[in-house]
Amino acid sequence: KTDFNIAVLPGDGIGPEVVEESIKILNAIAEAFHYRFDFTYGLMGAEAIYKTGNPLPGETLEICKQSDAVLFGAIGDPSFDNNPDAKVRPEQGLLKLRKELGLFANIRPLKTYASLVEKSPLKKEIIDGTDIQIFRELVSGIYFGEKFTDEEAGYAYDNCKYHRDEIAPIVHMAFREAQKRRKKLTLIDKANVLDTSRLWRKVCKEIAEEYPDVELDFMFVDNAAMQLVLNPKQFDVIVTENMFGDIISDEASVIGGSIGLLPSASIGNENALFEPIHGSYPQAKGKGIANPIASILSTAMMLDYLQLDQAAEKLRQSVEYAIENKYVTVDLNSEQPYSTGEVGSFIADYI
Amino acid sequence: KTDFNIAVLPGDGIGPEVVEESIKILNAIAEAFHYRFDFTYGLMGAEAIYKTGNPLPGETLEICKQSDAVLFGAIGDPSFDNNPDAKVRPEQGLLKLRKELGLFANIRPLKTYASLVEKSPLKKEIIDGTDIQIFRELVSGIYFGEKFTDEEAGYAYDNCKYHRDEIAPIVHMAFREAQKRRKKLTLIDKANVLDTSRLWRKVCKEIAEEYPDVELDFMFVDNAAMQLVLNPKQFDVIVTENMFGDIISDEASVIGGSIGLLPSASIGNENALFEPIHGSYPQAKGKGIANPIASILSTAMMLDYLQLDQAAEKLRQSVEYAIENKYVTVDLNSEQPYSTGEVGSFIADYI
Ligand SMILES: CC(C)[C@H](C(=O)O)[C@@H](O)C(=O)O
Ligand SMILES: CC(C)[C@H](C(=O)O)[C@@H](O)C(=O)O
């Protein structure tokens, strides 16, 4: 297959700017490798609420379902964050999209770049050589369990529910990834308190028998929150449930000092979505200072997913070349910064 | 009041060793300030399971209820951690004790010590001068909500429920503390996803009107997990629900590089319990290398609670004197380490 339908959801804040650079890159790749990418744009997030009243219009969902892959920018707008009573919120669009597309696995690779180590809040000797892959379950758990508020009586609840069929697929994925790496898988849970965590442990243990070459271990989430800071190098592949994954993966994202570089993939059986892990960063919107590399590396993950391995490799090489030569935005090079568009063009030209 | 009944629960691992030093200290304080402390010992944790089959024997609970304050060591034993199917677990004893005594607020002060800053995994400029007080709700939420497992059908759930009456008391406590400090309170929640978090926000906003001198702000838990590492100095007082508090407070505990120094208090309307935040550290048991200062500073929090302000101040001065003069255990001074007992005696003598 050489022709692909790509759904493009620029979203809010700096989303449109960084996604534009990814499209530049995909056009360069199409030319170099003789592929064809057709882009169909959809509204999503605050942008979509302003224009349609709906954070995920039906048309956008349809575009995504028809696509080979979804390229997504960012979501979120301060005018909603400061109004917790808003009935319609940008985040609902993202949650609904994940659920509707069945994107059960959110995958975040975390690597430190030798040339950027000094940007980290952590000491060099702590983070040097860290290389972690986090698998977060994305369409179940407390995010999607029953929610209820009784204003009158003054209480609310959120139910965290897991079925073993919601656990097994991502655990298999994580084991397969560990086999390709350092063969260590850590389940992060709270099995000393939660029934759902005990179910996760049980399912992981059963599945482990199919992967005898991978060492499986367990870590309580509170301890994991410490260990990620104390000694991140101890981790290879991590798998965890939705809420713990949200917290732990964001914590882990800052250890390398390069959150502007980190990509993510959200994978389902029939669809997949690729987005930078940084947020919509509204303060930077329109200033040309946003780092496009996280979006560009998300595009590399998209190329992996589409099995365009050579193109993915070429893209990653180009990004590393740009970073090594300090052809980067102000977050990584305050002395001689390049703009969002310059960095994207540099990488595209290199391809 | 000058006579106090102290319940002593040494617990597991290094618990007994560090609690012994706290008792040494309390005896020194009794002498110096003419108070009287009567100590009544109770079994708790793995120790209690081995001896009675119950992690919290009725007698222990009774001793605690009769006490003016509870001094607690640590809980946990690897033989249970490695057996997630164990029906009786040490942690159940601690959870039950918190619930039965109504210890709704877990309070953790976090300070960096100038002389220990280089022990931190974080860079000096990031952590220098950090001074945070965390209030974690301790007897509700997903820890104590309905739990259910259907092995046959292959699912499990844990319900996270909050009533406003379970939120208000700790929020008031946190506001009062903020008034005594830098007048900033941050609620950590996930209000963009959870109904319970939206209830927390609402209750906090209402209560804020009674504390107009305190600035209240809100932070999503995933962002908080990043901000604690990127810029811990931005926080003054933090308040949060049970599970987020478990994760965030453990993460925060490692930023100062001195987890062996950090105390905690768990406060209710009629009872209070004081414990070091480090765990049972079974590898160190019986070796005389455990740092007693976290337990000793927990004892200082106990003196605050008992309104023995002068004694508390004297004790804190003595601890700082020991730290400044490197009269500390191997975790903080590997060149010329002192033993657990030596450090305790040094501080007691200084009093
Ligand atoms: C925006 C929010 C609902 C979302 C989440 O919590 O999943 C975000 O934090 C993320 O991690 O993608
Ligand atoms: C032992 C465990 C149940 C406990 C908790 O999760 O509350 C511990 O981690 C703590 O923070 O005191």
Query: How many CA atoms are closer than 13 Å to the CA of A2, on its beta-carbon side?
Result: 8
Residue A147 in this model has a pLDDT that exceeds 80: yes
Q: State the CB neighbour count (10 A cutoff) for residue B189.
A: 25
Please, is A67 exposed, middle or buried when counting C-beta atoms within 10 Å of its C-beta (0-12, 13-18, 19+)?
A: buried
pLDDT confidence of B81, banded at 50, 70, 90?
low
3-state helix, strand, coil split of chain B in percent (to 5) is: 45, 20, 30
* C-alpha torsion sign, points A66, A69, A71, A76: positive
Q: Is A193 in the pocket of ligand 2 (CB under 6 A)?
A: yes
Per-residue pLDDT reduced to its tens digit, B175-214: 999 999 999 999 999 998 999 999 999 999 999 999 999 9
| CA proximity to A188, closest of A146, A222, A231 | A222
CB A180 within 8 A of CB A150: no
Q: Which residues of A touch B161 (CB under 8 A)?
A: 155-157
Q: Is B158 in the pocket of ligand 2 (CB under 6 A)?
A: no
Residue B89 in this model has a pLDDT that exceeds 90: no
* Ligand 2 centre distance from Cα of residue B129 (Å): 27
What is the pLDDT, as a whole number, of residue A113?
A: 85
CB B262 within 8 A of CB B278: yes
Is there a contact between A160 and B157 if contact means CB atoms under 8 Å apart? yes
Strand order in the sheet with B3-11: B36-41, B3-11, B69-74, B272-276, B263-267, B105-111, B131-137, B237-240, B184-189, B215-220
What is the pLDDT, as a whole number, of residue A269?
A: 96
What is the pLDDT, as a whole number, of residue A115?
A: 80
Is there a contact between B148 and A221 if contact means CB atoms under 8 Å apart? no
What is the pLDDT, as a whole number, of residue A298?
A: 98
What is the pLDDT, as a whole number, of residue B82?
A: 63
Q: Which CATH superfamily is domain B108-261 in?
A: Isopropylmalate Dehydrogenase (3.40.718.10)
The whole-number average pLDDT for the span B106-134 is 92
Residues in Cβ contact with B2 at an 8 Å cutoff, skipping those fewer than 6 apart: B34, B35, B36
3-state helix, strand, coil split of chain A in percent (to 5) is: 45, 20, 30
pLDDT confidence of A268, banded at 50, 70, 90?
very high
Q: Which residues of A touch B154 (CB under 8 A)?
A: 163-165, 199
What is the pLDDT, as a whole number, of residue A82?
A: 64
- Select from A126, A148, A222 the Cβ nearest to the Cβ of B246: A222
Task: Return residues 119-138 of A near B (CB < 8 Å).
Answer: 121-123, 126
Mutate to test the pocket of ligand 1, among A80, A81, A89, A95 (most ligand atoms within 8 A of CB): A95
Fold of A105-267: Isopropylmalate Dehydrogenase (3.40.718)
Strand order in the sheet with A155-163: A147-150, A155-163, B155-163, B147-150
Higher pLDDT, A139 or B118: A139
Residue A31 in this model has a pLDDT that exceeds 80: yes
- Residue A164 CA to residue A173 CA, distance in Å, equals 15
Mutate to test the interface with A, among B137, B195, B206, B234 (most CBs of A within 10 A): B195
* Ligand 2 centre distance from Cα of residue B100 (Å): 16
What is the pLDDT, as a whole number, of residue A279?
A: 87
Fold of A1-103+269-351: Isopropylmalate Dehydrogenase (3.40.718)
Q: Tell whether A321 is within 8 A of chain B (Cβ).
A: no
Mutate to test the pocket of ligand 1, among A103, A143, A246 (most ligand atoms within 8 A of CB): A246
| CA proximity to A267, closest of A178, A137, A171 | A137
- Looking at the whole model, is its pTM more than 0.75? yes
Q: Tell whether B66 is within 8 A of chain A (Cβ).
A: no
What is the pLDDT, as a whole number, of residue A84?
A: 60
Residues in Cβ contact with A78 at an 8 Å cutoff, skipping those fewer than 6 apart: A282
- Are A1-103+269-351 and A105-267 equal in CATH topology? yes
Token output for A273: 């979505």
Q: What is the mean pLDDT of chain B?
A: 94
pLDDT confidence of B88, banded at 50, 70, 90?
confident
Residue B128 in this model has a pLDDT that exceeds 80: yes
Q: What is the mean pLDDT of chain A?
A: 95
pLDDT confidence of B259, banded at 50, 70, 90?
confident
A21 sits in which H/E element? helix A15-33
Angle, vertex CA A12, rays to CA A10 and CA A15, nearest 5: 50
Is there a contact between A248 and B225 if contact means CB atoms under 8 Å apart? yes
Ligand nearest B249 Cα, by number?
Answer: 2
Per-residue pLDDT reduced to its tens digit, A49-89: 999 999 999 999 999 999 999 999 999 888 876 666 678 88
Per-residue pLDDT reduced to its tens digit, B37-77: 999 999 999 999 999 999 999 999 999 999 999 999 999 88
B57 sits in which H/E element? none
**Annotated binding residues of A for substrate:** 98, 108, 136, 222
Task: Return residues 261-300 of B near A (CB < 8 Å).
Answer: none
Structural domain spans, chain B: 1-104+268-351, 108-261
- Select the CATH number that applies to the domain covering B1-104+268-351 from these four: 3.40.50.300, 3.40.190.10, 3.20.20.140, 3.40.718.10: 3.40.718.10
Please, is B316 exposed, middle or buried when counting C-beta atoms within 10 Å of its C-beta (0-12, 13-18, 19+)?
A: middle
Residue A188 in this model has a pLDDT that exceeds 80: yes
Q: Is A131 in the pocket of ligand 1 (CB under 6 A)?
A: no
- Select from A161, A223, A244 the Cβ nearest to the Cβ of B157: A161
Per-residue pLDDT reduced to its tens digit, A282-311: 899 999 999 999 999 999 999 999 999 999
Q: Where are the alpha helices (DSSP H) in B189-241?
A: 195-208, 221-230
Which residues of A are identified as catalytic?
Answer: 143, 190, 222, 246, 250
- Residue B291 CA to residue B278 CA, distance in Å, equals 10
Residues in Cβ contact with A299 at an 8 Å cutoff, skipping those fewer than 6 apart: A22, A25, A26, A71, A263, A274, A315
Per-residue pLDDT reduced to its tens digit, A200-248: 999 999 999 999 999 999 999 999 999 999 999 999 999 999 999 999 9
Residue type (1 letter), B132: I
First CA to last CA distance, chain A: 21
Q: Catalytic annotation on B246?
A: yes
